[in-house]
C-alpha cells in the first residue's frame, strides 16, 4: 500500500496472493491518497480477501490518487476487480489487461468481478482508458460504477464477460 506518497514509480513488480489481513484492502498494488504516481509493467494476481468473501481483493486499486498512470499492467485471478478506481479522479490507464477476476481460489464467484471499475464513492471519474483489454471477468469488462465525472475509453476491447461495457 502506497499512501500519501507522490511522484513515485513502481515498475516491474509481480504481486501474488494478497489478502487475508482484515485491516487492509487485500489489493495487490494499492495507491491511497497518493497523487501523481506511475505503475508500469506490473502484474497483480490471485488476491483474495477471505474476511470479506473476496470483496476487497483487487489487483490494482487507486483511491484518492489523482493523475496516477497505470501502463502495461496485468490483473488476473483476483477475487474482486482487476483494476478498481473507487473515489479516484483523473487517472490514466494504458495498454493494461484484466482477465479472470471476480472468482475465489476455488473458482466460485466472489467480489464485484469487474475487469476495470472506473468510479464509485463520493467524487470519481475523469479517467482516460487507452488500448486496454478485458476478458472472462465475473461480471463486467469495463464498468463506470456511477462515476460522476465523464470517463473516456479509447480503443479498448472486451469479450467473454457477462457484460462487456456498462456505462
Which residue is catalytic, options 44, 47, 59, 117? 117
Length of the chain: 167
- Strand ranges, E, within the chain: 2-3, 9-11, 14-16, 29-32, 38-40, 43-45, 60-63, 69-71, 74-76, 83-84, 92-94, 97-99, 114-117, 128-130, 133-135, 140-143, 152-154, 157-159, 163-166
Cα distances (Å, whole numbers) of residue 110 to 21, 46, 65, 140: 17, 12, 26, 13
Helices (H), 13-96: none
Give the cell for residue 124.
470519481
160 is catalytic: no
The residues carrying an active-site annotation are: 117
Amino acid at each position: 500500500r502506497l499512501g500519501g506518497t507522490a511522484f513515485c514509480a513502481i515498475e516491474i513488480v509481480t504481486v501474488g496472493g494478497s489478502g487475508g489481513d482484515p485491516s487492509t484492502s487485500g489489493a495487490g498494488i494499492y495507491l491511497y491518497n497518493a497523487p501523481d504516481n506511475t505503475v508500469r509493467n506490473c502484474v497483480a494476481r490471485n488476491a483474495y480477501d477471505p474476511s470479506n468473501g473476496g470483496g476487497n481483493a483487487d489487483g490494482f486499486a487507486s483511491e484518492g490518487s489523482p493523475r496516477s498512470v497505470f501502463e502495461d499492467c496485468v490483473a488476473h485471478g483476483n477475487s474482486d476487480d482487476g483494476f478498481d478506481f473507487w473515489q479516484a479522479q483523473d487517472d490514466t490507464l494504458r495498454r493494461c489487461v484484466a482477465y479472470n477476476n471476480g472468482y475465489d481460489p476455488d473458482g466460485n464467484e466472489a467480489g464485484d468481478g469487474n475487469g476495470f471499475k472506473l468510479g464509485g464513492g463520493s467524487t470519481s471519474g475523469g479517467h482516460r482508458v487507452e488500448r486496454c483489454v478485458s476478458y472472462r471477468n465475473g461480471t463486467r469488462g469495463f464498468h463506470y460504477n456511477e462515476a460522476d465525472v465523464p470517463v473516456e475509453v479509447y480503443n479498448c476491447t472486451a469479450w467473454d464477460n457477462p457484460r462487456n461495457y456498462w456505462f
